[in-house]
Amino acid sequence: MRDERGSAAVELVLLVPLLILVLLLVVALGRFASARGLVDDAAHQAARAASLTRSAAAAEQAAYQAAHAALDGAGVTCTGLAVTVDTGGFTPGGRVRVTVSCTVSLAEMTALGLPGHRTLKGEASSVLDEHRGIA
């Protein structure tokens, strides 16, 4: 008959690194989902800011500034930020559409040191007021 003293300690030593890895992956996925939501929020803020301007040119500038401020305020560091504004419907009662693309470093986002980058994308639209003038 074998002596099983110490086998629980050996099992614990073997399982703890695996459990820590699983915990780190769960945290990384949570941070990734949070960043994706923050990019969506930045797109909504950018669309709203663009819809409050009086011209299509001002809408593009306002959208970029709003998206940049929203992501900076949330602590999201984009290695590449692109804000695309569709002002094709920039008339009273029309709609302005904004797409925000933020490229983030996986090493920074996950805190696991993973190599590479990932682009997160958010889209939103906002209606322009029917009773205001457009320049």
pLDDT computed for residue 1 by the predictor: 55
Kindly report, residue by residue over 29-68, the tens digit of the pLDDT: 888 889 899 999 999 999 999 999 988 899 999 999 999 9
Higher per-residue confidence, 49 vs 92: 49
First to last CA, the chain: 91
Question: DSSP letter string over 1-28?
Answer: ----TTHHHHHHHHHHHHHHHHHHHHHH
Q: Does 100 have pLDDT greater than 90?
A: yes
> What is the pTM (predicted TM-score) of this model?
0.80
56-74 and 7-51 helices, crossing angle to 10°:
160
